A and B are shown apart, each in its own frame.
Chain A
Amino acid sequence: MRPNVLGPTAIALVFFAAGCQQKETANAVKPPVRALKSMGATALSPTLPPDIPGGAPGATLAGAAAFAWQEFFALNWPAVPQNGQVNTRGVADASRPFGDPTYTGPLVWETYRSKIEIFPGNGQQPPGYTANGADYGFDAAPVYNYLQSVPPCNGQSPTDPTPFVNLDEVTQIGLDTMYAGIVPPAPTPQNSDPQRLRFLAKANRAQYDYVAANQYWNHGGNFYSAVNTYTNSLKTNQVPPPSAGTVIFFPAGTVEVKAGWRMLAPTEDASHFHTQTVRYYENAGGGTPANPKPCYRDATWGLVALHIIHKTPTAPSFIFATFEQADNIRSAANGQPVEDANGNIINPPPAGTQPTSPYPTYQDGYNATTHQPDPTVTVGNQPFCTNHGSQVFYQNLSPGLPKGTAPGSGVCINTRYFQIPSDVVAANVHAHQQLTAAGAGGPWQYYKLVNVQYRPFDVANIDHSNPNSPNNPATFALANIVVETNNTLQAFQGALIATGPDAGVKTSYNNAGGPFTNVHVAGAAGTPYQAFNMGGCMGCHGNAQVAGTDFSFILDFGGVNFPEYPEASLDASRTAHYLKGFPPLR
């Protein structure tokens, strides 16, 4: 049977985690007065909401959007002073208002542990880990222990404090690289690839506690046994009883965050961006392809994307929300933003313009001879985009994805595959009103919620009749325009093919030619799973659930051997690394 294929529509991905609600709110005695004045559907509060009121399964898109904004407020709240003491990382400073213009320190989510702080490349215990200390030493100051120590680049002071924002990813999970055309492209001594977006993944106290308690930081403890127990249960399609052994299942309150950052152009208004000191990585030189030599630099960059995934009591498949800086998508014609800060189209491209230039076509397929999925992505005779102007654009890396041959050729972004639903736009309007009323607009009024996935549904049950339906196609395909940009990620469903000529292309087939399901909801022990071929972030992270790591790719990948930096000779292996985090298509 051929699975129902979404077609040239969209979806997105996220890669992150969650936290201990009690610890995060430990110092948040009560929200500041200015926030209290503006309580509405989206209260301006430093408290991370524990769940969607009434529960995720029955929520409306509007209710889920309000929940996402509450997450955004809580996570972007100024953090308490970071001194390594207990209950400091991931804790909001309730004595400060949201958006405090006098505050330049890290925000709550920025103080979460970077993936390298949970999964060290040297395989040792996470920095600051104490077996019997509070939260296993979660609050220790950041230390980034890759397989080999990474020195500062030439001219970079080695004595600067270690930034909390550690940008150790330079691709969109190895599928493509992402650029902002508005930034001058010429390399500088400080940045070899100034237009390039860089990324990070972090997790909160709850996830760290779980990983530390089970000693999974290097896939130790009983990691393999737990993964085996879960994947066995998927094979037999029976929820395992407790006697079958432990499976990996994060607690409610677990949060992962993924963020996209870049240099700002001199022509951009920096007051429209949240800026922060970030650490990014460059080629130190002197290395060989088989022995690369990264070094680090610290600089002030702007936040352009923020993903939040949050497990709640009623959302065991996590709630996925993604926010963007307002001006990410710019017109090819005039360089001005296509959307306003709320997500309304204000500068539409000419009629007939496709979402991207060129605009790939996708066709899923299965080869019964090779017993392999056989999808195709092509751009036909459409030219690649070389005159980027101020647009954001991407360049595919993966073997199965179309690539331009001319220097700088990529795919320019004209619009989203799916417009932001009006209920989400309304939530943005309301949230921005809350910020303005609280005097907390600042850069935050230039960020918007794109969409939120709050319970799984199958591709066969997409509701095309109502753009605000819980099953609307934009929600199914939730994707951030600068984090999950290419055709595979903007319209994700099923799985990614990990190897071979089709590597990096999505498919909804398994190797037997049947449908691949990526999200599984457990009922009582011994009963079959409720299985979905979900799209977007949730569907992609569902592949990590199939791999036995409960939607967490950072746990799936485990130890982070080295930080990524722009170096074309490493792209192939980087792609392979990410793709192989996806499970076999059984």
Chain B
Amino acid sequence: MATIYKIHPAIGVARVGSSSEFYIAPETGGGLPTDPATGQPVTSFRDSAGDLLKQAQRFRVFSYDDTNPNDPGTEVVAGSGGVAAIEWTVYLANKKACWYQFEQLTGSGMEGDAGYIANGPSVNPLRNFLVTDPAARQAFIIDPGPRTVGGSGNPTSADFTVSGDFSNPALTKPYPITTLGSIQLDANGNLLVLAGNGASGTTNLHPTVGVAPPPPPPLPPSTYEYVLTTYPNNDGWFDDVSDGPVTANLVLTDGTQHPVDVPAWCLGGPPKYAPQIVNQVTLYDAMYDIAVRKQNYNPALYANRAFNPQYQVDFDNEVAPILARPDAYQWVAEIPPQGVSQHVGITQDAGPDFPQYILRSPAVAGGTNLGVNLMPKLAGDNPISDTTMSKYLTLTQTQYFLIQQWVNGIVLPACTTRPPLSPAAALDRAALENCVGGAFCPGIEMTWICRNTTIYSDTFRIRHAPNPQQGHLSQTNGDNNDYSGGLEPGDIVKYMAQPWQADFNECSNQPINPDPNTNILPDNIQGVTFWWWPAERPFFFYPSVDNPAGEQLPWTRGFYNDPNNATVATPNLGDMQMVVNWKDLGFIVLQQGPTGPQYLEIERNTAAIDAYTPPGPAPQAMAFAVEGTAAARATGRTQPRAIHRPPRIPPNLE
């Protein structure tokens, strides 16, 4: 028998927090994080000082009998079973500032797009493209190098301390980047990866240009010390989310070492503010769809480039979770009453025309641009520009097929289910199931690069580039959309918004032009409101268990609204406030109300939000007075009924 060792979850997710303390990432989909001391679900997301806890991702090692493909695996615990210790090495980095600007699907090489290189810099410019010196651009990479804990001679914890202009408080405002997080061991020798502090800052102070391509001629220096003007690309900015490989060596009791055969990867991201509400399409769903259709993961379901029409669906495990998700959205978005009824109903009585007339089909050519009246009412990968449009989210092709099978009655016999996942595979699934799997504009933890099969060494496993070296991480790896040489630290989060808070603030809801031929909204068309990711970034919520049927309020109430066309002179104060106040927002958690369980907000630091002061003049009152109260208008601060990301004209049309 040959034993192989794998790290689980295959892809873990650490989330930023302003506290030095942490909770452990949920190990079930839609589960609460757990207290590291007790192992019980947390009841608070803040420390005793009120700071927001980080989410630590726990990684474990499992051993497998390589001759038994059905071996569920056995967890390896340091100090038992012949294993003296586990030596863990993690290498986190952030390449956002030297990568390409995020332009929705443009550059992805998917959906008919030619990819970064073929598109060229006029279509896919780099971030900070005015800086052309290779060494200076290399310095944009936040690269602390690898850290190792456990084993012999290594510490039990290590910090990803970084240095550069971005870490200098005199040069970077409002928050310098001093660390990308840390790693430590738990009591069983498992690894805990902690994300950064949620710090974001810019060296581009009192800027004259906000984002490339710059508006010629440059404007006078902004009266604001720093500005944010776009949701994904803000030159001069840095944040402290990161990603990178997780590897390990087993230190055996005889003193020898055995490298873990199958390593893992850790993603970084913002907090998930509604941890128990599952996205309609999770990152697991997105990766599972790729695994099924392109990696021969489940040949009984899909083989020879086609779904198996005889596949008997397991309703409880393959369909019911998909149908149950929309109902929970009523607690994080202003779902109208008729929508709530519809969402409740589809769990019980979806009829035979359900896929055709309720769900938007992912299999129809151009389907992501059709069906404004169909479900889900969630924005797609690109409802913003006319280049590579994808207006509306669809279920994955696999999700859609499974529902069709159920509707057509092709189900497993009653009282039968497929075997459950092994504990290790369940960890893989859970970590991804608590992440956004669409829309990827760009997303929250990871973007459309998850659909690129070259990033995988195996299903759900990121392909590692060999021996990444500090100071020498590639600026161009993947610019041909080919990762067959593996990914380096920072190669996943580099696609995400810079800084994440700008996208996080703006991606609440989105007015979409239902015209399938264009995303540009004429002045006389308001568009149809779709939501982005309310399961992670709530939009509307119910405030209190004492008021279960009461008024639903905006989650970011007290935030500045977003101007339609931000500039360095009139920046997006909502985005800028999110850089400061992200850590003060409330969490939406399940509580027992008078008539049943309800997801309600807890632990909001309203005083801190109300105390926010922009780094420059407050806007003219009426300029932001769309739908707020009179008092809000007087201060330029509104209760945002709708925070719209303005449709952006693509660069080649400007």
Interface residues of chain A, those whose CB is within 8 Å of chain B, are: 121-125, 131-132, 147, 215, 218-225, 227-229, 231-232, 235-236, 243-245, 288-292, 371, 399, 498-500, 503, 511-512, 546-549, 556-559, 561-562, 569-576, 579-584, 586
B528 with A583: CB separation less than 8 A: no
A243 with B528: CB separation less than 8 A: no
A586 with B549: CB separation less than 8 A: yes
A225 to B552, CA, bound (A): 11
A123 with B514: CB separation less than 8 A: yes
Question: Which of B331-339, B482-490, B562-570, B576-584 interfaces with chain A?
Answer: B331-339
- B352: chain A residues at CB < 8 Å are 289-290, 569-570, 572-573
B552 with A228: CB separation less than 8 A: yes
- B552: chain A residues at CB < 8 Å are 228, 232, 235
User: Which secondary structure dominates where chain A touches chain B?
Assistant: loop
B408 with A499: CB separation less than 8 A: no
- B30: chain A residues at CB < 8 Å are none
- A562: chain B residues at CB < 8 Å are 353, 357
A/B interface sample: 25 pairs, CB < 8 A? A122-B372, A124-B515, A219-B373, A222-B642, A223-B336, A224-B334, A225-B529, A231-B336, A235-B552, A244-B629, A290-B352, A290-B408, A498-B344, A498-B345, A500-B348, A547-B337, A548-B336, A548-B337, A562-B357, A572-B352, A573-B349, A573-B357, A576-B346, A579-B341, A582-B341
B627 with A573: CB separation less than 8 A: no
B345 with A147: CB separation less than 8 A: no
Interface membership of B342, Cβ < 8 A: yes
Q: Which of B334-371 contact A (CB under 8 A)?
A: 334, 336-338, 340-342, 344-346, 348-357, 370-371
Residue of B nearest to A555 (CB): B338
Question: How near does chain B come to A212, taking the closest CB pair, in angstroms?
Answer: 11
Question: How near does chain B come to A8, taking the closest CB pair, in angstroms?
Answer: 27
- B374: chain A residues at CB < 8 Å are 147, 561
- A546: chain B residues at CB < 8 Å are 337
B526 with A220: CB separation less than 8 A: yes
Q: Are A131 and B641 CB-contacts (below 8 A) given A147-B371, A371-B596, A584-B337?
A: no
Residue of A nearest to B552 (CB): A232
B642 with A573: CB separation less than 8 A: no
Q: Which of B344, B353, B629 contacts A573 (CB 8 A)?
A: B353
Q: Which of A125, A236, A583 contacts B550 (CB 8 A)?
A: A236
Residue of B nearest to A399 (CB): B349
Q: Which of B349, B528, B529, B540 contacts A123 (CB 8 A)?
A: B528
A124 to B515, CA, bound (A): 6
Most buried by A among B334, B337, B342, B346: B337
Question: How near does chain B come to A309, taking the closest CB pair, in angstroms?
Answer: 19
- B549: chain A residues at CB < 8 Å are 235, 512, 586
A290 with B349: CB separation less than 8 A: no
A16 to B103, CA, bound (A): 45
A503 with B349: CB separation less than 8 A: yes
Contact with A along B379-417 (1 / 0, CB 8 A): 000000000000000000000000010011000000000
A147 to B367, CA, bound (A): 12
Interface membership of B551, Cβ < 8 A: yes
Q: Which of B298-350 contact A (CB under 8 A)?
A: 334, 336-338, 340-342, 344-346, 348-350
Question: How near does chain B come to A452, taking the closest CB pair, in angstroms?
Answer: 27
A548 to B527, CA, bound (A): 20
Most buried by A among B336, B374, B642: B336
B340 with A584: CB separation less than 8 A: yes
A227 to B630, CA, bound (A): 21
Interface membership of B524, Cβ < 8 A: yes
A151 to B424, CA, bound (A): 53
A512 with B595: CB separation less than 8 A: yes
- A499: chain B residues at CB < 8 Å are 341, 344-345, 348-349
Q: Are A290 and B345 CB-contacts (below 8 A) given A220-B526, A224-B336, A512-B595?
A: no
- A123: chain B residues at CB < 8 Å are 371-373, 514, 528
Contact with A along B608-634 (1 / 0, CB 8 A): 000000000000000000010110000
Q: Which of B583-608 contact A (CB under 8 A)?
A: 594-596
A498 with B372: CB separation less than 8 A: no
A147 with B641: CB separation less than 8 A: no
B407 with A236: CB separation less than 8 A: no
Question: How near does chain A come to B546, taking the closest CB pair, in angstroms?
Answer: 13
A468 to B514, CA, bound (A): 51
B357 with A574: CB separation less than 8 A: no
B353 with A218: CB separation less than 8 A: no
Q: Which of B462-482 contact A (CB under 8 A)?
A: none
A221 to B338, CA, bound (A): 17
Interface membership of B525, Cβ < 8 A: yes
A225 with B338: CB separation less than 8 A: no
A559 to B357, CA, bound (A): 11
- B527: chain A residues at CB < 8 Å are 215, 220-221
- A121: chain B residues at CB < 8 Å are 373
A180 to B136, CA, bound (A): 83
A412 to B338, CA, bound (A): 33
A559 with B373: CB separation less than 8 A: yes
A323 to B549, CA, bound (A): 39
A575 to B354, CA, bound (A): 12
A329 to B595, CA, bound (A): 45
Q: Are A224 and B529 CB-contacts (below 8 A) given A371-B596, A576-B345?
A: yes
B629 with A580: CB separation less than 8 A: no
Question: How near does chain B come to A287, taking the closest CB pair, in angstroms?
Answer: 9
Q: Which of B345, B514, B627 contacts A245 (CB 8 A)?
A: B627
Q: Which of B341, B371, B540, B630 contacts A580 (CB 8 A)?
A: B341
Q: Which of B334, B355, B529 contacts A290 (CB 8 A)?
A: B355
**Lowest 6 A-B CB distances belong to which pairs?**
A573-B351, A123-B372, A559-B373, A289-B352, A583-B337, A220-B528
Q: Are A221 and B526 CB-contacts (below 8 A) given A147-B373, A290-B355?
A: yes
A229 to B641, CA, bound (A): 9
B340 with A583: CB separation less than 8 A: yes
Question: How near does chain B come to A229, taking the closest CB pair, in angstroms?
Answer: 8
Question: How near does chain A come to B556, taking the closest CB pair, in angstroms?
Answer: 15
B345 with A228: CB separation less than 8 A: no
A289 with B371: CB separation less than 8 A: no
Question: How near does chain A come to B156, taking the closest CB pair, in angstroms?
Answer: 50
Question: How near does chain A come to B350, taking the closest CB pair, in angstroms?
Answer: 7
Question: How near does chain A come to B388, taking the closest CB pair, in angstroms?
Answer: 21
B408 with A228: CB separation less than 8 A: no
Question: How near does chain A come to B66, taking the closest CB pair, in angstroms?
Answer: 43
Question: How near does chain B come to A209, taking the closest CB pair, in angstroms?
Answer: 15
- A500: chain B residues at CB < 8 Å are 348
Q: Which of A224, A289, A576 contacts B349 (CB 8 A)?
A: A576
A560 to B470, CA, bound (A): 59
B526 with A222: CB separation less than 8 A: yes
Contact with A along B520-554 (1 / 0, CB 8 A): 00001111110000000000100000000111100
Q: A122-B372, A123-B371, A579-B345 are in contact. List 4 more A-B contacts (CB 8 A).
A: A219-B529, A225-B529, A584-B337, A584-B341
B407 with A227: CB separation less than 8 A: no
B351 with A574: CB separation less than 8 A: yes
- A574: chain B residues at CB < 8 Å are 351
B529 with A580: CB separation less than 8 A: no
Q: Which of A132, A227, A511, A573 contacts B337 (CB 8 A)?
A: A227
Q: Which of B338, B371, B372, B511 contacts A556 (CB 8 A)?
A: B338
Question: How near does chain A come to B332, taking the closest CB pair, in angstroms?
Answer: 13
A572 with B351: CB separation less than 8 A: yes
- B642: chain A residues at CB < 8 Å are 222, 224-225
Question: How near does chain A come to B263, taking the closest CB pair, in angstroms?
Answer: 43
Residue of B nearest to A233 (CB): B551
A327 to B306, CA, bound (A): 58
Question: How near does chain B come to A284, taking the closest CB pair, in angstroms?
Answer: 14
A221 to B630, CA, bound (A): 22
A558 to B594, CA, bound (A): 33
Q: Are A570 and B514 CB-contacts (below 8 A) given A147-B373, A228-B336, A559-B373?
A: no
A371 to B540, CA, bound (A): 25
A225 to B337, CA, bound (A): 12
- B407: chain A residues at CB < 8 Å are 289-290
